[in-house]
């Protein structure tokens, strides 16, 4: 489905990003993974893709940094010559009620999730415009649509990603570039593993499908959005949450 395509997946070393990188590679894309600091996880994902016969490279890059992301995009363009697909997936949580939320926890979550998405799009913008083709997929969250107690920082960032997605979709549509957001619910990754069993049980009880989602299920949706089959979909926010927020 993605034969010959070149893709960047931020946060591609673990969890949802890792599953997207692997699924893209299985579908014929070459993948550049960006990760924050866990080199072992990044290397493991690269090796898994290579073992499948795919092409993968990894870059340590802090998506919060305008400079760092600029240099990394330039390096990737040198290796791949082009980028067809950008997935902005890198994200963190720093949960607490507003009453106790520290300023640095608000800033860090906004800088990673929202500013990181802006940085990557900004540095690939003119490349994709000149190419007159491209797919941008931003990973938001149902918390950005419905809000979530204890996640004022995260929900703000994820809601911001939706506004960013729609604005970029409008700007780039005439260049045949689509920009969509995926809003996952509860997906089984390191991010949700750190929640207490009690919170997880309560969440699963609320989900009509009565289970958490798997990263591979999000990856299949991302692969569809990245493919030619999704050429007439732009500015959309697609929930994948087992029916949690119908
Ligand atoms: P995860 O397992 O914690 O993985 C996070 C990934 O982001 C890692 O690859 C990490 O790299 C990378 N990352 C974090 N900060 C970074 C930075 N400053 N610069 C570059 N890379 C950075 O998370 P996940 O659950 O797969 O979540 C992926 C995305 O889906 C996030 O945007 C998250 O908000 C969103 N999401 C997740 C869920 C869920 O239930 N899991 C639900 C809704 C939305 P290192 O390994 O090097 O740290």
The one catalytic residue in 35, 125, 154, 245 is 154
Name the band, by pLDDT with cuts 50, 70 and 90, for residue 212: very high
* pLDDT tens sequence across 107-117: 999 999 999 99
Whether 35 sits among the annotated catalytic residues: the reply is no
Predicted pLDDT at 198: 94
3-state secondary structure of 77: helix
209 CA from centroid of ligand 1 (Å)? 24
Arithmetic mean of pLDDT, 42-67: 98
Hey, which CATH number is domain 6-240, 3.30.479.30, 3.90.1150.10, 1.10.287.110, 3.40.50.720?
Answer: 3.40.50.720
Q: Is the C-beta atom of 17 inside 6 A of ligand 1? A: yes
Strands (E), 11-74: 30-35, 56-60
Q: In what order do the strands lie in the sheet with 30-35?
A: 56-60, 30-35, 6-10, 85-88, 134-139, 177-184, 237-240
Atom of ligand 1 nearest to the CA of 41: 46
Average pLDDT, the chain: 98
Stated length of the chain: 246
Candidate of 36, 114, 147, 164 to mutate for ligand 1, largest count of ligand atoms within 8 Å of Cβ: 36
Arithmetic mean of pLDDT, 95-116: 98
Q: Is the C-beta atom of 187 inside 6 A of ligand 1? A: yes
Domain segments of the chain: what residues? 6-240
Predicted pLDDT at 188: 97
Arithmetic mean of pLDDT, 17-24: 98
What is the CA 55 to chain-centroid distance, rounded? 20
Name the band, by pLDDT with cuts 50, 70 and 90, for residue 37: very high
* pLDDT tens sequence across 116-129: 999 999 999 999 99
79 CA from centroid of ligand 1 (Å)? 25
Q: Is the C-beta atom of 213 inside 6 A of ligand 1? A: no
Q: Is the C-beta atom of 15 inside 6 A of ligand 1? A: yes
Atom of ligand 1 nearest to the CA of 37: 47
Name the band, by pLDDT with cuts 50, 70 and 90, for residue 68: very high
220 CA from centroid of ligand 1 (Å)? 17
Cα 155 to Cα 8: distance, rounded to the nearest angstrom: 24
Predicted pLDDT at 161: 99
Q: Is the C-beta atom of 40 inside 6 A of ligand 1? A: no
* pLDDT tens sequence across 150-200: 999 999 999 999 999 999 999 999 999 999 999 999 999 999 999 999 999
| Predicted TM-score of the model (pTM) | 0.98
Predicted pLDDT at 108: 98
Q: Is the C-beta atom of 117 inside 6 A of ligand 1? A: no
Name the band, by pLDDT with cuts 50, 70 and 90, for residue 230: very high
% of the chain residues with pLDDT over 70? 100
**CB of 186 closer than 8 Å to CB of 211:** no
Predicted pLDDT at 238: 98
Q: Is the C-beta atom of 184 inside 6 A of ligand 1? A: yes
Predicted pLDDT at 152: 98
Name the band, by pLDDT with cuts 50, 70 and 90, for residue 96: very high
* pLDDT tens sequence across 26-35: 999 999 999 9
């Amino acid at each position: 489905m993605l034969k010959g395509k070149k893709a960047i997946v931020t946060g591609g070393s673990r969890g949802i990003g890792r599953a997207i990188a692997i699924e893209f590679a299985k579908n014929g894309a070459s993948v550049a993974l960006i990760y924050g600091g866990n080199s072992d996880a990044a290397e493991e994902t690269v090796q898994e893709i290579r073992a499948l016969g795919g092409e993968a490279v990894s870059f340590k890059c802090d998506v919060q940094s305008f400079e760092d992301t600029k240099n990394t995009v330039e390096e990737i363009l040198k290796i791949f010559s082009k980028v067809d697909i950008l997935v902005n997936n890198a994200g963190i949580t720093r949960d607490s009620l507003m009453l106790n939320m520290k300023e640095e926890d608000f800033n860090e979550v906004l800088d990673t999730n929202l500013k990181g998405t802006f940085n990557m799009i900004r540095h690939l913008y003119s490349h994709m415009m000149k190419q007159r083709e491209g797919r941008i997929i931003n990973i938001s969250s149902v918390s950005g649509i419905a809000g979530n107690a204890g996640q004022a920082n995260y929900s703000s960032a994820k809601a911001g990603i939706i506004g960013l997605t729609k604005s970029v979709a409008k700007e780039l549509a005439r260049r045949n570039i689509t920009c969509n957001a995926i809003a996952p619910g509860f997906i089984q990754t390191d991010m949700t593993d750190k929640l207490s069993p009690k919170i997880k049980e309560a969440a699963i009880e609320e989900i009509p499908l009565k289970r958490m989602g798997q990263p591979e299920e999000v990856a299949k949706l991302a692969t569809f959005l990245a493919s030619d089959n999704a050429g007439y979909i732009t500015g959309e926010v697609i929930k994948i949450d087992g029916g949690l927020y119908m």
